[in-house]
């Protein structure tokens, strides 16, 4: 803003500030909500530090996107999980969906974090640097057991190799490639990502009868409002939503 107007932002009047914010949203090359948000918050902090009264320059309230998450059907998940040829890649997909992991949480799993006897996975320092436990279930326990026997990992559960052939932590690119190839091979038209699998995990658990507070803890959310979005996606209640076309012609049969 200082470069745009060639002066200190605290010297600008309300109209200039609003003009600049409008410029960010309409003409700037970086008009993302995040960029706009930090500009507004940065201005508020600058006014506070410099003693500029909040009355003199009123900043607009931020409006956040209310997009609902993409979710796979149960049949799409089955097709996705059996698509990879390598057990390692099948297990990557199975953990993302079966435990609702964020991608960095998956990559940071180490051997001691897996308790096959108790069928639990210890997620260390997830988002917000919080630990949590999530259940593995019988299918993942069997899959991880087979994987550990067939291809004993080093340090992390999933390892990759650098350009020299040295073992290192499996990469984000590797996870993305495994998901993309599985989606292509299974014929799924939706844009599948690691976070889509996490959304699908949450939605399917709600539809299978899990309560919202338990789901909040499993996902590692600090605010229940973040979890509540899945109530808008899951098909819940005594009567699932339906199209009127399905009942329009029933009386004629």
Alpha carbon separation from 234 to 101, 111, 195, 231 (Å, rounded): 19, 34, 16, 5
Catalytic residue among 127, 180, 184, 190: 127
Q: Residue holding tokens 């309300």?
A: 14
Q: Establish whether 190 is a catalytic residue.
A: no
Query: What is the spatial distance between Cα 29 and Cα 87, in angstroms, rounded to a whole number?
Result: 43
User: Could you confirm whether 118 is annotated as catalytic?
Assistant: no
User: Which residue out of 4, 122, 124, 221 is catalytically annotated?
Assistant: 221
Distance CA 123, CA 102 (A): 10
**102 in catalytic set:** yes
Examine the residue annotation and report whether 204 is marked as an active-site residue of this protein: no
Active site residue 67: no
Point out the catalytic residue in the list 20, 47, 201, 230: 230
Q: Which of 4, 25, 44, 102 is catalytic?
A: 102
CB-based contact 167:180 (threshold 8 Å): no
Q: Can 127 be counted among the known catalytic residues?
A: yes
Of residues 88, 198, 199, 216, which has the active-site annotation? 198
Torsion of CA 99, 104, 106, 112, to 10 degrees: -110
Q: Annotated catalytic residue: which of 22, 161, 190, 195? A: 195
Size of the chain, expressed as the number of residues it contains: 253
> Which residues are known catalytic residues?
102, 127, 195, 198, 221, 230
């Amino acid at each position: 803003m200082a470069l745009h107007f060639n002066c200190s932002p605290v010297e600008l009047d309300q109209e200039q500030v609003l003009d600049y914010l409008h410029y960010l949203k309409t003409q700037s090359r970086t008009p993302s909500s995040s960029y706009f948000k930090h500009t507004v918050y940065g201005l508020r902090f600058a006014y506070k530090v410099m003693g500029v009264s909040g009355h003199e320059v009123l900043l607009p309230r931020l409006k956040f996107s209310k997009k609902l998450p993409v979710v796979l059907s149960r049949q799409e998940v089955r097709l996705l999980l059996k698509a990879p040829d390598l057990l390692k890649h099948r297990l990557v997909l199975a953990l993302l969906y079966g435990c609702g992991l964020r991608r960095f949480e998956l990559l940071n799993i180490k051997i001691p974090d897996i308790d096959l006897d108790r069928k639990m996975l210890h997620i260390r320092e997830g988002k917000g640097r919080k630990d949590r436990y999530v259940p593995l279930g019988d299918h993942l326990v069997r899959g991880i057991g087979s994987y550990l026997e067939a291809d004993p990992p080093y340090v992390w559960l999933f390892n990759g190799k650098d350009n020299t052939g040295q073992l290192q932590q499996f990469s984000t690119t590797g996870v993305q490639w495994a998901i993309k190839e599985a989606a292509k091979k299974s014929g799924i038209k939706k844009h599948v990502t690691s976070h889509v699998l996490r959304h699908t995990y949450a939605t399917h658990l709600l539809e299978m009868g899990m309560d919202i507070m338990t789901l909040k803890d499993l996902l590692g959310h600090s605010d229940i409002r973040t979890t509540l979005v899945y109530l808008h996606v899951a098909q819940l209640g005594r009567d699932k939503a339906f199209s009127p076309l399905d009942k329009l012609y029933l009386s004629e049969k």
